[in-house]
Chains A and B, each alone.
Chain A
Amino acid sequence: MLRFLIKGVFRDRSRSLFSIIVITLIVALTVLIRGFMAGIFDDVFRQSAVIFAGHVKVTTRAYAEESDLLPNDLAILGSDSLVAALSEEYPDMFWTPRILFAGLLDIPDEQGETKEQGPMMGFGLDLHSPGSRMVEIWELERKLTRGRLPERPAEVLLGETYAHRLGVEPGDVATFIGASMYGGFVTYNFHVAGTVSLGITGIDKNMLIADLRGVRMALDMQDAAGEIVGYSHDMFYDDEGSVALAVNFNEHVPNPENEFSLVMQALRDHTQMGAMVDISEYAIGLVLFIFMAVTVVVLWNMGLMNGLRRYGEFGMRLAMGETKGHVYRTTLGEAVVIGIAGSFIGTAVALPLVWYLQEIGLDYTGLFEGMTFVLSSIIRARITPDCYYLGFIPGVLATVAGTMLSGRGIYKREMSQLFKELELEA
């Protein structure tokens, strides 16, 4: 019986084909958008984590409270042993110390007089210690525009637009002018090894990336670090895990009242990232919901139109001795078959596209010119595990729901009514 009906479904093009096309489209779109959103949010989180927040970040309590001011006088002392302890305690993450610092960069001419000067935002990263992944996660090799990567502690990279504005070439000297950890006035000569373009306008325009050792010398911060950041090994942000880790860490901090006691924050705690994390989680639900609603309505109407066409068939089947319930259930059964078929095709169509966007990406350089948002200029999608089944939710559920709604007519009508419609057909 079921086979008989399924045979009918696939022979009746007008019934199955249009439904399957609609479902295929919706499912493909769902999967595409899912992959796309996952990719974009990954990108946002990744960039924010790399540049600012880490997946988690340890600072002193006082530093956390005034972090906008980059208060290195409140830095963590004994940071190297703390990194070792963290790595031991939380091996699911890798930990790295860093110093964010601000000041002026002064470019001297041949006589040593100031040629150009500009405000600078510095990142002191652990570029060189064995096993450090900073070059990798900052993608410095790929983003290098001129020169080479730093090799010695005093060598630095400048943002491409920054270097351009200051008229600095790789090989030039750039003098840092600022305050030491203890508040004293310091100058330090950095050597520009190369320039990089992160693709983020607001950062590139005054960025300096230096090796942590050089920055420690410049700021007189031996064995100190403003922050210690932790990243998951695969670099994907796990919100729940990170928040739980931070909570766990903070519970075990001795005398948390002390302003120099340590505090851990997750990416979510960093300025607006919390809202972003929430959006990333709700967005796919919202998209699914909207697609479900659209699909239900479309298929409902389609079912109604089909139903009108099929009342003759239903009437005949009832006359042959089929029960209303059986007619209704087999109609739902057909919907499930059509839904599964459409979902399969839709998913199969979308996955290669998502895969392409994952591997190759979509370059939209220039499209969002001047956007202060932390986004790279190549959008990549990601095939999340749920890409494989997510499309079946609107594909099958909505098809069945739409059929359920349109099929109510079978129950609502008096049998003789359905039956009489036979006579009107002809």
Chain B
Amino acid sequence: MDDNHIVEIRELVKRYPVGGGHFTALRDVTTDVVVGEFTGLVGPSGSGKTTLLNIIGGLDAPSEGSVTVLDMPLGGKNHKELAHLRREGIGFIFQTFNLLPVYTVFENVEFPLLLMGMNGEDRRSAVNQALEWVDLMDKVKSRPAQLSGGECQRVAIARAIVKKPKLIIADEPTANLDAENSHNVMGLMVNLNRELSTSFMFATHDEKVMGYLTRIIHLIDGRIDEDEQVSKPKYREGK
């Protein structure tokens, strides 16, 4: 695997059993993701964006082909090994935030570190740093129900970033946010991308999100239709 590659996909096919036969959600997908890329999967509904992100995240298994993520070939790996990969190397951001309602902002962000078995001292400083990143230091003790949608998604970003993963996977992160919050959240992720060289992979329909991407992979019917490098993203200053 190329040192520079964070994801390598070769001739990936994904079929879902449907009725007696099967439905092919992804076909012949071959691509690489380079460290530090800010990539988006775009395409019509049902084109396979979520399916591809799930496979990269080890949440779904390929039917054919090979997928290597963070130097780990996913073929033949068991649940535990895949969980380990996610725990150590991948952060997830969801469309619906998925914060744990009974825990405070601090505790929600702390959760991935508990899974990693990090000690209390290190946890505290990492959580505080992540919350500073997303500018939510004044809400540490709040519960998700007391936050706005934009704030919730910022907590989710803090939760994804707190363990400093190499790759963050975000499926429609702005779908439940208004324009202002969408820009706000995307701006945060751009900063993280720049300062920590964290690679991002999005799935999105959102024009605003596309305006930040440095690379856009167009999916149609489970196939890569176009793979476009964006030299001057509309909303992204500098670079």
Contacts and interface: CB of A to CB of B under 8 A. Distances in A.
Interface of A: 1, 4, 7-8, 11-12, 312-313, 315-326, 414-416, 419-420, 422-423, 425-426
B68 interface: no
A7 B108 CA distance: 12
Interface string B80-107: 1001111110101011101011110001
A419 B87 contact: no
A1 B112 CA distance: 10
B100 A416 contact: no
19 contacts: A4-B111, A4-B114, A7-B107, A12-B101, A316-B92, A317-B111, A317-B115, A319-B59, A320-B86, A320-B115, A321-B84, A321-B87, A323-B80, A324-B79, A326-B83, A415-B60, A416-B54, A419-B54, A426-B96
Contact of A319 (B86, B88, B95, B96): B86
Q: Is the interface of A mostly helix, strand, loop or mixed?
A: helix
A319 B92 contact: yes
Given A4-B111, A4-B114, A320 B100 contact: no
B95 A1 contact: no
Given A322-B115, A426-B96, A415 B59 contact: yes
A322 B88 CA distance: 11
A321 B83 contact: yes
A317 B50 CA distance: 18
Contacts of B184: none
Contact of B95 (A317, A322, A423): A423
Given A4-B107, A414-B60, A320 B87 contact: yes
A323 B83 contact: yes
Given A8-B102, A319-B57, A423 B96 contact: yes
A322 B98 contact: no
A320 B111 contact: yes
Contact of B96 (A11, A317, A323, A425): A425
A315 B92 CA distance: 11
A141 to B, nearest CB: 62
Interface string B50-87: 10001001011000000000000000000110011111
B194 to A, nearest CB: 25
Contacts of A323: 79-80, 83
B102 A12 contact: yes
Given A320-B87, A416-B59, A11 B102 contact: yes
A4 B123 CA distance: 13
A35 B93 CA distance: 55
A321 B88 contact: yes
Nearest to A15: B102
Given A414-B60, A416-B59, A419-B54, A320 B92 contact: yes
Contacts of A12: 101-102
Nearest to B85: A321
Contacts of A1: 114-115, 117
Interface string B144-172: 00000000000000010000000000010
Interface string B193-209: 00000000000000000
A18 B40 CA distance: 44
Contacts of A324: 79, 83
B102 A321 contact: no
